[in-house]
Structure 1
Amino acid sequence: MSDADDEQLPELDLRLTEENLSEFYEHAPCGYCSCLPDGTLIKVNQTLLDWLGYTRQELVARQCLQHLLTIGGRLHYETHCAPLLLLQGQVREISYSLRRKAGSTLPVLMNAKLLRDDHDKPLVVRVTLFDITDRRKYEHELLRAKVQAEEQREQLAQANKLLVVKNEQLTRINADLDSFVYTASHDLKQPIDNMVGLFGELKRSVTFHDPVATTMVGMFDEALQQILSTIAGLTAVVQQQRELEQVVEETVALQPLTEEIVRSLQPHEQSAAFTLDFTAVPTLRMTRPSLHSMLYNLLSNALKYAEPSRRPSIEVSTALVDGAPVLSVQDNGRGINLERHGPELFQLFRRFHPEVEGTGMGLYLVNRLVHQAGGHVEVDSAVGQGSTFRIYLPR
């Protein structure tokens, strides 16, 4: 024998051996009753009487078990439960609702067993009933949550369908707008060129003696050039968009691409200082012309809108934010009043420094290309201190 077998068991409290079986039956944590094969109650424990609010005299030999059920439960008992008892001798965990004397109902689970006499004739049915009020509440809550989830899923599906339709509409509208802009700019270019030619011939063949007329001629010439520049910009934006749709994505090394752009810009601003740091993200996966256009516009703007009183300093870098690449271009230029111009920062033809020559299409194009790549642009800027453009791209 093991040491464990030699250990003495704790002494049993003798009071536990004096458990009264009748008391246990009457006050069990579940309802007990016995009934004849036709359902007539012949014995009911006190727990069940307390649940239903009846006295023993009101039920025993006066009521049938099925009469304590709701109408639906009674029909099920007589057509399903009673035949099963006769066929297989027992039923387990059938959900019913009992009718209390006061009129309310009590949800229960019923187990029943049919006992037979020595001649195999049905003698008595012993029934055990479990109060499942809390369980039923929990089931109702689950059902309600399921219904709400289904409703929300349906609403989300409808919202997704609507979003798809809206996106398709926006895509068609954008395509129509691009076609319109391209056609309009193309159709306008010829008459504007004719006006430029006629105006040039007018300046060569006509002598203006009035000084005011000379000033007006200059203003008219400047306006014509602005119109030509706008038309050329519109044509370029749409044309570039169409060309980019045909270009496939590739892995682009940022260092050589940026150095190439800086070399193309440096003759215009020999004193600018460029700092390049692509250690965090040395390459980006996108179309090369798109990336080139983004960087070119941001770097050329940084040079164009430099603060005259100090040497331009431009930093181009990358970082990882939540696992996604971020491309930043920071300058120490004139800056932008974001409180005043923030909402219109990326709109077409918006210019915030009229004293500097420009078309107002650079930032519009940058924002459009970034959105096409699945990212977004954030800007920090202070007047007289400089600006930082951060391009957040997808992983």
Structure 2
Amino acid sequence: MRKGDHSYRMDHKGLIEESAEDLYENAPCGYLSTLPNGLIVKANKTFLKWMGYAAEELLYQKKFQDLLPIGGRMYYETHYAPLLRMQGFVTEINFDLRRKKRQLLPVLVNTTQLKDENSKPILNRTTVFNITDRKGYEKELLRAKKQAEEATRIKAEFLSTVSHEIRTPMNAIISIANLLLETNYTQEQSQYLSTLKASSENLLHLINDILDFSKLESGKVALAEREVDLKELVTSLLHGVRIAAQDKGLALKLAIDKDMPPRVLGDPVKIGQVLTNLLGNAVKFTERGSVSLELELEELTDKEAVISFCVEDTGIGIPKDKLEKVFEEFAQADYDINLRYGGTGLGLSISRKLLALYGSKLTVKSQEGQGSTFCFALRLKLGQAAPALPNDTAAGHEPDVAGVKLLLVEDNAVNVMVVTKYFEKWGVDFDVATNGVAGVAKVMEQDYDLVLMDLHMPEMDGYEATAKIRSLPESKYKQLPIIALSASTEKDFAEEMAGAGINDFISKPFNATELRNKIAHYAYAATKGLPYHTTFTGQQPMPTAHTPLQNPDGPAYDLSTFEELLGENEADLEELVKITIRNFEVFQGKFQAALVSRNLEDYKFSCHKITVTLGLLNAWRLQHAITQGKDLLEEAATTADQKPLDEIAKAIHLEFDVLLAGLNATLLHRWNQTDTPDTP
């Protein structure tokens, strides 16, 4: 206790006592009292110290709302004050108070309103908590959360990329080993080849597990819904493990309920993956006896069926205390089993995560030394038998697509003209929608045999448009074939398309033969009212567009691809050049604006929309500059240096000027006119 400080005194027991006034003035939180209109009539020393005001500067001089920035003042008038009048108190309201020196102080406010005997408000008592430190902690936590999420994303992308890159040469190694095994070789070479094949297959299996696990962890896996013949599916799966079972002298048994529906709607890839994991484990951990797969119909209605799947073996079994451990990532029952049998310990974890997408759970019953039984049940919609569709290309001639009713949803005018020229040659009856909103509207207005859907568009992209079409009440919208058109080169966007309900994919610039074949395939099924075979499963990365050898030091552009596409039709070529000029004038401004505002999303969107046109024009100098701009814009997120962005903006602007000047000169000298852009 300080000498001369009369705020404290000793009681008769020698204990320190503090006055109520001192507790009020020096409390660790701020206290203030205001009239109902917000005028401050009392404030403790703590609050005055935080705000930097003397008492005479604040009391009866300012209202509480005067201390708030404009946004806080609006919230005070529209939410805080009405709520206080209505219920007589407010709690945990977050404000920023403006101090005398204009800095902002983050606070948490609790207010109680005092009323007279007539329930008329007379005074507001407010407690103010300084949450500067808490805000700092929140920022640190948010920063740590973002860093953790970014690390997880980078890890998932790394695993996915590496797995994809390794899988390609591994498939080649296995294929070559199989080919060599069919040639004449010595007994010693046979052992080498068998070892090579077995080791390669084991390595590929490990890579696939890692890839599947990384996709599941990053939430990139979605269920497809396709016609599935379960009998055909499980028979083929058993055939896949038959050789391994025969090598160990194991009997393979299959039992299918006689009342099983012939076809159901489900994801054959995911269901097959789960059963393959279970059957592979059963054979792997069984030295003698048998492995059985049983499908039992538990429930059947006119719309759906509940089917249980059980894989039973007579293998080594699992100790009772390890039954749950086997479902953990990178875990097996014990260390000795890992040494003896190998593997990642991911198979059961992946299977359980895949089944969770169906709302199902993988269960196990086991007794050590006597075998294990793994079971799960799926509720699946009923399908129908699907007759085979004709394959005109196999007969050696192009399929006839004349009369097919088709909707093209595409916002890029150059792309529209290129695609529709093929439609005109083939006799396709087509409509065009320039965005997803218009595309959905046209689908609702007319009946189409199929839809070609660009994925990246303004107002509504292809994913959302497809999802909206699929959600329409009539069943025909669930069956309407929708094929994605995209210049995207990302490897892991297949799951997103499958989730939206897209049936197939064609990369841009497209191959005309591939486009014609796909139109024929899906249109035939649609016109005959038949279920079609969907080649896009959402499981493998989609093929990317073939890109010619790029030379950033070559000419600004050439029209050879345009001329090849349109043949001798000079009028169409002239129109295509005009459309390209108008497009490039728009995109020139968009790229500049995105670089100035550092808007990476807008920049990427423009990159995507212009890529096909640049490829058709062989405009690799401009393409190179735009790619450099994207790289610099991504780096700019971590630096305030604007100079590199300004320099690349000038370079892009110059390349656009050169290209536009050349195209306008072509119009002038080849067709004796200049292009006049449409007035916005």
TM-score by length of 1: 0.47
Larger RCO, structures 1/2 (Cα 8 Å, 6+ apart): 1
TM-score by length of 2: 0.28
- The structure number with the bigger radius of gyration is 1
